[in-house]
């Protein structure tokens, strides 16, 4: 495993000449996340976020200001998807980061040359940062698994495999969209508990799930597992991920093969990849396993991963109804909690996934599964917050919610914070619920 | 729904000048399936199987013998994957079929021009016919669902949703390979029934699943379902599919989110797409639902689909151990049965999948799930044949099998047969089990 390298790009006293970058909640100069953007009438291409602007990487390659690995990374990123750039691995990614950090630093003498390459974020449409080959959703949020399990099995919420196996399942790649894509309320086959027969129509129990997304940089050959000590090297970075869910469809369809149409109508990600390099200052020791929990099998255990496989990351969810927006009432925070509620690390997810020789590829996306805390106010889905619809949430307008209503806007947020480092964030991950098309 | 069109390309008395085509078990002139092949040192490109030869579609486009829609289809097929060709839909596909059928017919005066474009199949490596965007596996073999269910729930084998919902789940696209790819025995985490803790190592209960694969020609926009009456128009054709499975991994991992590493180490398909056009004479009425079974909801019901949504198709599985091959003993047939054991039609699978607005794309692959018959000799997996390993199969060498051993070769076969039509088949779908890499 690559030990997190903290260098001058993370220096808390490094500031930027780009207006709005210093003090930006998500994108100060210490972040420099990777994405794909376009302006109207132009082709999508790679960019790096800085404050409220985007550095156009295609323009940067033509500037004469890059060379070597940094140039190779920027050239590969001058495409409508970052797959070729991610496939280069950590070296070129880090070289580009260091160079761009220097070019954007306060006092950089290249300022005059770079300024024309900055695109206002307000003028840019964001795209998925990479083409997703396969998408897998895990279930590593142990409090979510416990909360959901206790709805169905009060005496035995966690299944016997949970603390041995990073449980996961395959999701749908074709319906992953960047922040802002509307959520059209799906229709589906459901069966109410008291109904004699199922029916088909707009789903009623529409929910979100607060998750972390993992973008893979490099894959493996079919049949060749990824050892856990190397797993982090295969990761490009992280994102926020909303696994929109139809609970009524899920309850009726999921036996015996798992969730299907309840989950594949839309998955929203924040469009910026916060790179493993940017995360270095925020890595911390995975919390010790509770007394009595089993020791993971050797293929899932790496001491270095335990020392720095967790993250100083706070996750939040906000809801805003149409009426709230009309009255200019600020969104209501539904939850707030640390990502340390992940029972398995990202490296454990990757190593488990490839342990049978399954081929992973550049651009694959992994979801963590819903990240909930153990107590009220930290739960990552309405299913948990409202106790399966039994305890409604009251909004500032007096409206109540058990599940999402048409017009609701749901926003995820995530910020990395630790002492001695400048905080960074993912940017926006939001979607508005639109009425079903019937 | 497009009603099956039977034209001169299906005429039983149509013969071909290509040696070995007439009477070929899979590829007489009435079939003309689509695939992607390459010869050593050459780029993969589209081809059409005829007897033991392949018509090189790239060469055919340069011949001056095509025009209009047929030319458009062949041009689009002159690529390493047929996605662009499939996306053209049924019209160009049928135009190319009719033209190629005429060119290959006995007495065609273009024979001298076409002969140099024939590649011996023995010199060609076959590739996947299309890039797979997403892969979904269904569970429509009702006897398989009953057989497997009865192992776990003898009194109640079929779950309450089975006859209402075409159950399916997402699979892994990156590990789909054409016939002939070796199966490296995967390692996995398992827990023996009597063990205190799980362990990791080569899987012991390695199995196959006999399935039908469905290649999609056209997709839909996100949020726009595919009505069942139009579902067949979205299908390009069919293939054989082997959903290799590790039963010991499956038993330990699958709760609560379904199969994952038990299934994603390899999926083998026969490399030729037998098109919807070729299948026309073999379409037949879906067997009536047993007395007392529920009427499907309207979004899953189409009278035309019921009239011709089933297939006159016989499926077989053969096993050959290393010792059998060494002694030149013919493969042992493990099962034989009709595809009419599918409780849901292909159109119902497609319509259900897109019913929530899930976006389908050209090149998506759907598996039917294991197709088993109700009686011994017609079961599509060793799990069923050996009653979960309790009743071994004896091979001609005296060897016995409960699950697959290293060196075993597993072959699927499928042939469409009906009175008044020339039989056609899928060609080979095979794989040899190689030892685990430990």
Whether A302 and A406 map to the same domain: the answer is yes
- Bridge-based pairing state of the strands A313-320 and A409-416: antiparallel
Closest chain A C-alpha to B16 CA, distance in angstroms: 40
B165 and A359 within 8 Å at the Cβ level: the answer is no
Domain boundary among A80, A110, A127: A127
User: Which residues does chain B have within 8 Å of residue A298's beta carbon, measured at their own beta carbons?
Assistant: 200
Query: What's residue B1's pLDDT?
Result: 46
Give the SS3 label for residue B48.
strand
Query: What's residue B3's pLDDT?
Result: 59
User: Which residues does chain B have within 8 Å of residue A225's beta carbon, measured at their own beta carbons?
Assistant: 187
Reported as a single tens digit per residue, the pLDDT across B289-344 is 999 999 999 999 999 999 999 999 999 999 999 999 999 999 999 999 998 889 99
Distance CA B342, CA A185 (A): 31
> Using an 8 Å Cβ cutoff, are A213 and A269 in contact?
yes
Whether A330 and A362 map to the same domain: the answer is yes
- Bridge-based pairing state of the strands B135-138 and B365-367: parallel
A133 and B CB contact within 8 Å: yes
> Using an 8 Å Cβ cutoff, are A95 and A85 in contact?
no
Burial class (CB in 10 A: 0-12, 13-18, 19+), A304: middle
Whether A315 and A416 map to the same domain: the answer is yes
Mean pLDDT of A56-67: 98
Residue B310 lies in a domain: yes
Whether A34 and A120 map to the same domain: the answer is yes
Q: Is the pLDDT of residue A304 over 90?
A: yes
Residue with more model confidence, B82 or B374: B82
B133 and A CB contact within 8 Å: yes
Query: What's residue A438's pLDDT?
Result: 84
Task: Report the CATH number that the domain containing residue B106 is assigned in CATH.
Answer: 2.30.30.230
B400-418 burial code (b ≥16 CB/10 A, e <16): ebbbbbbbbbbbbbbbbee
Q: Interior CA angle at B241 toward A255 and A261, to 5°?
A: 30
B357 and A CB contact within 8 Å: yes
Residue B330 lies in a domain: yes
Choose the catalytic residue: B144, B234, B352, B353: B144
Reported as a single tens digit per residue, the pLDDT across A191-221 is 998 999 999 999 999 999 999 999 999 999 9
Reported as a single tens digit per residue, the pLDDT across A144-166 is 999 988 887 788 889 999 999 99
Q: Is the pLDDT of residue A1 over 80?
A: no
The mean pLDDT of chain A is: 96
B437 and A253 within 8 Å at the Cβ level: the answer is no
User: Which residues does chain B have within 8 Å of residue A257's beta carbon, measured at their own beta carbons?
Assistant: 139, 167-169, 258-259
* Interface contacts A/B by beta carbons within 8 Å: 196
Residue B3 lies in a domain: no
Q: Which helix (H) or strand (E) holds B104?
A: helix B90-104
DSSP symbol at B235: E
Residue A362 lies in a domain: yes
> Using an 8 Å Cβ cutoff, are A253 and A262 in contact?
yes
Angstrom CA distances, B204 to A389, A404, B187, stand at: 44, 46, 9
Q: Is the pLDDT of residue B242 over 70?
A: yes
Q: Is the pLDDT of residue A332 over 50?
A: yes
Give the SS3 label for residue A201.
strand
B292 and A CB contact within 8 Å: no
Distance CA A427, CA B408 (A): 53
Whether A194 and A235 map to the same domain: the answer is yes
Whether B76 and B179 map to the same domain: the answer is no
- Bridge-based pairing state of the strands A176-178 and A267-269: parallel
A223 and B CB contact within 8 Å: yes
Q: What is the CA radius of gyration of chain A?
A: 22
Domain boundary among A93, A127, A161: A127
Whether B150 and B119 map to the same domain: the answer is no
Query: What's residue A153's pLDDT?
Result: 79
Question: Considering only CA atoms, which of A211, A198, A242, A245 is closest in space to residue A388?
Answer: A245
Give catalytic status of residue B24 as yes or no: no
> Using an 8 Å Cβ cutoff, are B58 and B36 in contact?
no
Mean pLDDT of A48-60: 98
DSSP A359-418: PP-TT-EEE------SSTT--SSHHHHTTTTTSPEEPTTS-EESS--TT-EEEEEEEE--
A256 and B184 within 8 Å at the Cβ level: the answer is no
pLDDT band at A3 (very low <50, low <70, confident <90, very high): low
Whether B106 and B156 map to the same domain: the answer is no
Residue A1 lies in a domain: no
The mean pLDDT of chain B is: 96
DSSP symbol at B141: B
Mean pLDDT of A247-251: 96
Partners of B169 in the β-ladder:
B137
Residue B2 lies in a domain: no
Which of A159, A175, A254 lies closest to B222 in CB terms? Answer: A175
Q: Is the pLDDT of residue A268 over 70?
A: yes
Residue A2 lies in a domain: no
A355 and B297 within 8 Å at the Cβ level: the answer is no
Range of the domain at B163: 135-434
A375 and B CB contact within 8 Å: no
Residue A192 lies in a domain: yes
Whether A123 and A139 map to the same domain: the answer is no
Whether B331 and B398 map to the same domain: the answer is yes
B248 and A CB contact within 8 Å: no
B196 and A CB contact within 8 Å: no
Mean pLDDT of A250-272: 96
User: What percent of chain B is predicted at pLDDT more than 90?
Assistant: 95
Whether B109 and B147 map to the same domain: the answer is no
Total tally of structural domains belonging to chain A: 2
Residue with more model confidence, B58 or A5: B58
User: Which residues does chain A have within 8 Å of residue B294's beta carbon, measured at their own beta carbons?
Assistant: 197
| Residue B360 Cα to chain centre, angstroms | 18
Reported as a single tens digit per residue, the pLDDT across B38-88 is 999 999 999 999 999 999 999 999 999 999 999 999 999 999 999 999 999
Q: Is the pLDDT of residue B26 over 60?
A: yes
B174 and A260 within 8 Å at the Cβ level: the answer is no
Closest chain B C-alpha to A76 CA, distance in angstroms: 22
Domain boundary among A95, A127, A159: A127
Task: Report the CATH number that the domain containing residue A176 is assigned in CATH.
Answer: 3.90.850.10
Phi and psi torsions of A101, nearest 5°: -60, -45
Distance CA A304, CA A287 (A): 13
Whether B312 and B263 map to the same domain: the answer is yes
């Amino acid at each position: 495993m690559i030990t997190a390298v903290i260098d001058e790009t993370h220096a808390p006293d490094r500031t930027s000449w780009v207006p709005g970058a210093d003090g930006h909640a998500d994108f100060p100069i210490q972040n420099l996340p990777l994405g794909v953007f376009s302006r109207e009438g132009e082709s999508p291409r790679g960019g790096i976020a800085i404050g409220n602007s985007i550095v156009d990487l295609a323009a940067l390659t033509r500037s004469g200001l890059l060379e070597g690995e940094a140039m190779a990374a920027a050239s590969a990123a001058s495409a409508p998807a970052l797959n070729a750039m991610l496939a280069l691995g950590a070296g070129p990614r880090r070289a580009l980061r260091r160079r761009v950090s220097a070019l954007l630093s306060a006092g950089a003498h290249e300022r005059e040359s770079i300024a024309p390459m900055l695109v206002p974020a307000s003028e840019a449409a964001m795209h998925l940062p990479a083409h997703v080959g396969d998408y897998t959703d895990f279930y590593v949020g142990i409090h979510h698994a416990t909360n959901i399990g206790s709805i169905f099995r009060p005496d035995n919420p966690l299944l016997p495999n949970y603390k041995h196996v990073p449980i996961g399942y395959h999701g749908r790649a074709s319906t992953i969209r960047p922040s802002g894509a509307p959520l059209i309320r799906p229709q589906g086959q459901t069966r109410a508990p008291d109904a004699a027969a199922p029916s088909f129509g707009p789903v009623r129990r529409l929910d979100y799930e607060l998750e972390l997304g993992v973008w893979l940089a490099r894959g493996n050959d079919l049949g060749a597992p990824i050892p856990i000590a190397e797993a982090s090297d295969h990761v490009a970075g992280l994102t926020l991920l909303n696994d929109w869910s139809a609970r009524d469809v899920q309850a009726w369809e999921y036996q015996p093969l798992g969730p299907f149409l309840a989950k594949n109508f839309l998955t929203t990600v924040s469009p910026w990849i916060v790179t493993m390099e940017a995360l270095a200052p925020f890595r911390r020791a995975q919390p010790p396993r509770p007394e009595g929990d089993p020791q993971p099998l050797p293929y899932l255990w790496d001491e270095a991963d335990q020392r720095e496989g967790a993250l100083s990351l706070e996750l939040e969810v906000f809801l805003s109804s149409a009426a709230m927006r009309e009255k200019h009432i600020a969104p209501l925070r539904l939850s707030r909690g640390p990502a340390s509620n992940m029972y398995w690390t990202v490296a454990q997810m990757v190593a488990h996934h490839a342990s049978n020789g399954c081929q992973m590829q550049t651009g694959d996306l992994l979801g963590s599964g819903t990240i909930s805390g153990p107590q009220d106010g930290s739960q990552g889905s309405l299913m948990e917050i409202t106790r399966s619809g039994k305890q409604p949430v009251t909004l500032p307008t007096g409206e109540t919610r058990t599940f999402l209503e048409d017009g609701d806007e749901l926003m995820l947020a995530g910020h990395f914070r630790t002492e001695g480092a400048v905080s960074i964030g993912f940017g926006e991950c939001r979607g508005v619920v639109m009425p079903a098309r019937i």
